Amino acid sequence: DTGVSQDPRHKITKRGQNVTFRCDPISEHNRLYWYRQTLGQGPEFLTYFQNEAQLEKSRLLSDRFSAERPKGSFSTLEIQRTEQGDSAMYLCASSLAAGLDEQFFGPGTRLTVL
C-alpha cells in the first residue's frame, strides 16, 4: 500500500497524559500537513512541513502541541497535558510539492480524552 499511513488509528487517554501520533506520507512527497477534525465539522488546518521545515502553524496549535518531521520523512504530532477538548480525529496529508498539488489524506488517528 503506497498511501498515507497513520498510527495508531485509535487512542484513548486520560486527561493530563501526553500522546504522540505518527504519520508516514507517500514516498517522495515533500509536503506534509496535519489537520484536526471534530465531530460534524470539516478538517481544520494545524500545520505543514516542506521537507523537514515547519513552515506554518495555525493558532489552533497551542503550545501543548508540537510537530516534527525529522529528515523530511515521517512526522510526529505530540500533544502534552491532553484536555477533553483535544478529542478529535487527527488527519495527516501529503502532497508531492507545493501549491496546487493534490493533498492525499491518511485514515486519521481518533483521539478520545477521558
Partner 1 sequence: QKEVEQDPGPLSVPEGAIVSLNCTYSNSAFQYFMWYRQYSRKGPELLMYTYSSGNKEDGRFTAQVDKSSKYISLFIRDSQPSDSATYLCASFSGGYNKLIFGAGTRLAVHP
Q: Is the peptide bond before 8 cis (omega within 30 degrees of 0)?
A: yes
Closer residue to partner 1 (CB): 67 or 106: 106
Determine, following the binding rule CB under 8 A, whether residue 55 of this chain makes contact with partner 1: yes
Of the ranges 12-20, 67-75, 80-88, 103-111, which one interacts with partner 1 (CB under 8 A)? 103-111
The distance from CA 110 to its chain's CA centroid, rounded to whole angstroms, is 11
Of the ranges 42-50, 60-68, 69-77, 80-88, which one interacts with partner 1 (CB under 8 A)? 42-50
In 4-103, where do the E strands start and end?
A: 5-7, 10-13, 19-24, 31-37, 44-50, 53-57, 65-68, 75-79, 88-95
Amino acid at 48: Y
Amino acid at 38: T
Amino acid at 24: D
For the record, the C-alpha cell of 22 comes out as: 505518527
Closer residue to partner 1 (CB): 9 or 81: 9
Least distance from partner 1 to the Cβ atom of residue 21, Å:
13
Here's the x/- map for partner 1, 60-89, by CB under 8 A: it reads as ------------------------------
Task: Give the residues lining the site for partner 1 (CB under 8 A).
Answer: 4, 33, 35, 40-45, 48, 55-56, 91, 93, 98-100, 102-108
